[in-house]
Amino acid sequence: MSDFKYAGVIGGGAWGTAMAQVCARAGLAVTLQAREPEVVEAINGRHENPIFLPGVALEEAIDATTELSDLAPCDFILAVPPAQHMRKTLEAIRPHLRDGMPVMLCSKGLEQGSLSLMAEVLRETIPDAAPAVLSGPSFAGEVARGLPAAVTVASPDEGLARALAEAIATPQFRPYLATDIVGAETGGVLKNVLAIACGISEGKGLGRSAHAALITRGFAEMTRVAEALGGEAETVSGLCGLGDLVLTCSSPQSRNMSVGLALGQGQTLEEALAGKVTVAEGVASAPAVRDLTRKLGVDTPICEAVAAILAGEVAVDDAIRGLLHRPIRSEH
């Protein structure tokens, strides 16, 4: 049995709310910090999050607040803001955390500018935190409704990964353990960019064969990037890599895939994102992934094509033509 009894969740979006739900179902006390007072009011008063997770009845045990200081007594933190806001979020929570606080990073993105994964951002902002990563195929709506899901919980401290996993596990939410946080994070970053590619393919009506080719060649890109960053191919072959790639590339429930779908159907990026309060992380991560892989000298043609389309540097049809006209090469 884990000693963790009290979880603090930062971020009242769909995934932060779903993770608070998981923690409450696992029997933990939970405080969820959200930026929006109306989200806090709805969670505490009506046990729902109508802005980011509409239509889901939330556990009454979830206590919401706008104040990061209210997370001070927690045994561990789940950090779930959009990746581009992770640094300032961690800087803001830092004064309220005790030394060595376990922080489980649940966001999936690469920081623009620094080209840092979230664990690097954590190391720079709260150097004495004990890092962990939670990632895997898990749509917030499904998880929050109690449908089954399995994820990777990774930490270089195997004992911490186990303690966190045991604390949050329920019969519906099954964590597997890993020690490779670089691999675990890289999978989550790239699958979002690759899901945009799959959405574009779907929107253009390119068929199931193209879809399978994109997933497979995208997985090759993911593996190369993870290894170049010091992660392991075995990690990305698991839930946090291949598993999440398959999920996110296969359902318009994915915000990333649906952005791609809209682009493939001829919308501009501005049109595809118009009026959305939710985040499609691949849009912000794609240029950072391109900068990083060029720096690393890793070949990622699909991610490059997505970055170029999103930046308006190339038309969708030209990007597809470019991918299909690459020189014939060895598959492995």
Ligand X SMILES: O=C(CO)COP(=O)(O)O
Helix axes of 181-203 and 118-125: crossing angle, nearest 10 degrees: 140
By beta-carbon proximity to ligand NAI, the closer residue of 21 and 204 is: 21
Report the candidate in 142, 197, 136, 154 with the shortest Cα–Cα distance to residue 323. Answer: 197
Q: Give yes or no: 276 in active site.
A: no
Q: To the nearest whole angstrom, how small is the minimum distance from the Cβ of residue 16 to ligand X?
A: 13
Binding string, 172-191, against ligand X, x = CB under 6 A? Answer: --------------------
Give which of ligand NAI, ligand X, none residue 248 binds (C-beta under 5 to 8 Å, depending on kind).
Answer: ligand X
Q: To the nearest whole angstrom, how small is the minimum distance from the Cβ of residue 252 to ligand X?
A: 9
Q: Give CA–CA dist 315/187, Å, rounded.
A: 27
Q: To the nearest whole angstrom, how small is the minimum distance from the Cβ of residue 134 to ligand X?
A: 11
By beta-carbon proximity to ligand X, the closer residue of 130 and 200 is: 200
Among 80, 226, 261, 309, interactor with ligand NAI by CB under 6 A: 80
By beta-carbon proximity to ligand X, the closer residue of 192 and 293 is: 192
Positions at the binding site for NADPH: 15, 35, 108, 140, 255, 279, 281
Among 25, 108, 204, 290, interactor with ligand X by CB under 6 A: 108
Q: Is 113 left (phi over 0), alpha (psi -120 to 50) or beta?
A: left
Among 120, 180, 221, 244, interactor with ligand X by CB under 6 A: 244
Q: To the nearest whole angstrom, how small is the minimum distance from the Cβ of residue 248 to ligand X?
A: 5
Q: Give CA–CA dist 195/232, Å, rounded.
A: 22
Q: Does 133 bind ligand X (CB under 6 A)?
A: no
Q: To the nearest whole angstrom, how small is the minimum distance from the Cβ of residue 329 to ligand NAI?
A: 32
Residues with Cβ within 8 Å of 252's Cβ and at least 6 positions away in sequence, in order, are: 199, 258, 261
Q: Which stretch binds ligand X (CB under 6 A): 50-58, 60-68, 90-98, 249-257?
A: 249-257
Buried b (16+ CB within 10 A) or exposed e, 131-167: bbbbbbbbbbebbbeeeebebbbbbeeeebbebbbbb
Among 87, 224, 255, 290, interactor with ligand X by CB under 6 A: 255
Among 133, 210, 247, 272, interactor with ligand X by CB under 6 A: 247
Q: Does 109 bind ligand NAI (CB under 6 A)?
A: yes
Q: Which of residues 269-298 bind ligand X (CB under 6 A)?
A: 281
Q: Does 107 bind ligand X (CB under 6 A)?
A: no
Q: Give CA–CA dist 213/146, Å, rounded.
A: 32
Find the catalytic residue in 5, 88, 191, 204. 191
Among 107, 223, 293, 300, interactor with ligand NAI by CB under 6 A: 107
Active site residues: 191
Binding site for ligand NAI (CB under 6 A): 11-16, 35-36, 52, 80-83, 85, 89, 106-109, 138-140, 278-279, 281
Binding site for ligand X (CB under 6 A): 108, 137-139, 192, 195, 244, 247-248, 254-256, 281
